[in-house]
Amino acid sequence: MADLPEGPLSTRQRPGGMTPRVEAQAVPEHPPAVGIPGEPARHRLIDPALLAVAFIWGGNFVVYKIVLETVPPLALVGVRFGLMTPVLFLLLWLRHERLMLRREDLLCLLWAGLVVMGGQQVTFIIAVDMTSASEAALLITSAPIFTALIAVLSGQERLSKVNWLGVLVGFVGVTLVLSVGLAGSSGGGSHLTGNLIMLGSAMLYGYFMALSRDLVRRYGGLKTVAYCYALSCVAIVPLSLPQLLATPWARLDLFTWALLVGYIGLLAGLWAFAVWYTTIGRTSAAATAVYQYLVPVVAMAAAAMFLGEKPQTVQLAGAVIVLAGLGFARWTPGRKPL
């Protein structure tokens, strides 16, 4: 909910009146959006805005690791939510969105925001602190696999044989990534624990995408996530308060403040969210997936350049297999798997 946006949730009506298929796309930490009804999807070879967002969100994993060297994880997530919540409502105001909600949606919204998103964000930042930036980006990207499984278990959709193949392939890739921590080659037990926590965060993220499907359809992705962020603050701020008070904010150098506020809050938050939600409605889901899959690739390259992380062969193989599994898990008849 890394920095998990989340890509759009889209539906396709199946022949014979069967349940619409839910297609969820995820990028570490940003919630699902929906297309603008009646607007044709644009078909560009490269969309510069979405490409920039993918690079910014990929780099965000490295920025998290740098900031976490001086700012405790819960304090960081507390500051992030304190910055992002008003920013999201500012975007709603600039888009002239109505803030009213239907009474029957309040319970679902409360559960999705206060419990699921709040838990996902806390586990995400703790895991990033304990594992590598590369593995964090890869593991959180597996969230759509869990979304597909939850959608099947809840009766929201049925998976084709190709989809099931993608789910199985994705789990093989995740297992390979986890095996690095299991071997104790990159930080021992705490590293493996971090990977397992990140996998749990991916499960929560996948659950959030499935749970918020109807909310996103009704209110749009930006409005849904704005309310979920606000509700998450109710849980996150009290939880992070001890670390917020204990952190020597006055002693932080200008570079750390620039990364925390400028990059995490404004660039990866305000600007990237605004671009993503403005552009996503006019771009096909298939094209969007390409940029989402680029995020962990950028994260791995940035981690190698700035943090000195050296991916092992097993990790690289796991990355390729996870992304391939995601492509087949999202595949629908009529287009090639992504």
Q: What is the residue-averaged pLDDT of the chain?
A: 80
Q: Across the strands, what pairs with 42?
A: 283
- How many whole angstroms from its chain centre is CA 258? 23
Q: pLDDT tens, 71-89?
A: 999 999 999 999 889 988 9
92 neighbors 219 (Cβ within 8 angstroms): no
Give the pLDDT band (50/70/90) at residue 287: low
Using the structure block, give the residue that is written with the tokens 């943090």: 307
Q: Among 94-108, 182-196, 293-307, 319-333, where is mean pLDDT lowest?
A: 182-196
**Alpha-carbon span 153 to 206, nearest angstrom:** 13
Q: pLDDT value at position 315? A: 78
For the record, the structure tokens of 257 come out as 């403040």
Say yes or no to pLDDT of 157 above 80: no
Say yes or no to pLDDT of 314 above 90: no
Q: pLDDT value at position 263? A: 95
65 neighbors 133 (Cβ within 8 angstroms): yes
Nearest Cα neighbor of 79 from 91, 68, 90 is: 68
Between residues 336 and 123, the one the model is more confident about: 123
For the record, the structure tokens of 116 come out as 């699921």
Q: pLDDT value at position 326? A: 77
Distances in Å between the Cα of 208 and the Cα atoms of 45, 48, 111, 162, 259 are: 31, 29, 10, 24, 28
Q: pLDDT tens, 235-272?
A: 999 999 999 999 999 999 999 999 999 999 889 987 88
Nearest Cα neighbor of 142 from 204, 193, 229 is: 204
Domains of the chain by residue range: 6-32+45-329
For the record, the structure tokens of 43 come out as 């078909």
For the record, the structure tokens of 21 come out as 């298929």
The C-alpha R_g of the chain, in whole angstroms, comes to 19
Q: Among 32-36, 115-119, 322-326, where is mean pLDDT lowest?
A: 32-36
- pTM assigned to the model: 0.80
Q: pLDDT tens, 194-206?
A: 999 999 999 999 8
Q: pLDDT value at position 20? A: 45
